[in-house]
Amino acid sequence: MSRLTAAQVIGLGEYLNPDFNPASLTVSQLLGVLGFHNIIFPTPYTKGKLIQLFNDEIKPNTTKFKRERVKREQSIASDDGITDGITGKPISEKVRCFARDYLFASDERIFLLFRSLSKEGHLVGFPVIQQRI
């Protein structure tokens, strides 16, 4: 039976249970959990020091961490505030393509025509993609 990775331990969230024993985690898993919660650990470190740090920093804040976890799980991803790296315009204003209409070849070129919709759902044009074959 293979051990869980630190990401899997964090994903399961069992370490936030009040009766959880941090000694059951490996050093790597402890480092992952502490790092996930932005807790600075001493160097050099031993498993004993990491367990003590877990008991001092994670255990008292389990309620807070559980609330943050629920909030993160219930949040909806959004593209608000994300801008195009070239134009600097918000990506939510970009034209979205929704269906390929035509694919035809002519003079060693492939033309792909498709309809595009604006954010509001209006038809805005027929962009053409060309590729030499």
Distances (CA, A) of 72 to 66, 68, 75, 96: 10, 6, 5, 28
Note the pTM of the prediction, 2 decimals.
0.56
State pLDDT tens for residues 4-41. 999 999 999 999 999 999 999 999 999 999 999 999 98
In the predicted model, is pLDDT for residue 3 greater than 60?
yes
Residue indicated by tokens 């044009």: 125
* Span 54-81, average pLDDT: 87
Where does the chain have alpha helices with state H? 6-12, 27-36, 47-53, 62-74
Residue 82: both structure tokens together = 């994300």
CA–CA distance, 79 with 102 (Å, rounded to integer)? 30
Q: Is 30 left (phi over 0), alpha (psi -120 to 50) or beta?
A: alpha
Q: Residues 63-87: what's their mean pLDDT?
A: 82
What are the extents of the domains in the chain?
Answer: 6-74, 91-132
Mean pLDDT across the chain, nearest whole number?
A: 76
What's the number of CA atoms in the CB half-sphere (13 Å) around residue 10? 16
pLDDT in tens, 107-117: 444 444 444 45
CA–CA distance, 28 with 47 (Å, rounded to integer): 9
Identify the residue with better confidence: 48 or 132.
Answer: 48
Residue 72 has pLDDT above 70, yes or no: yes
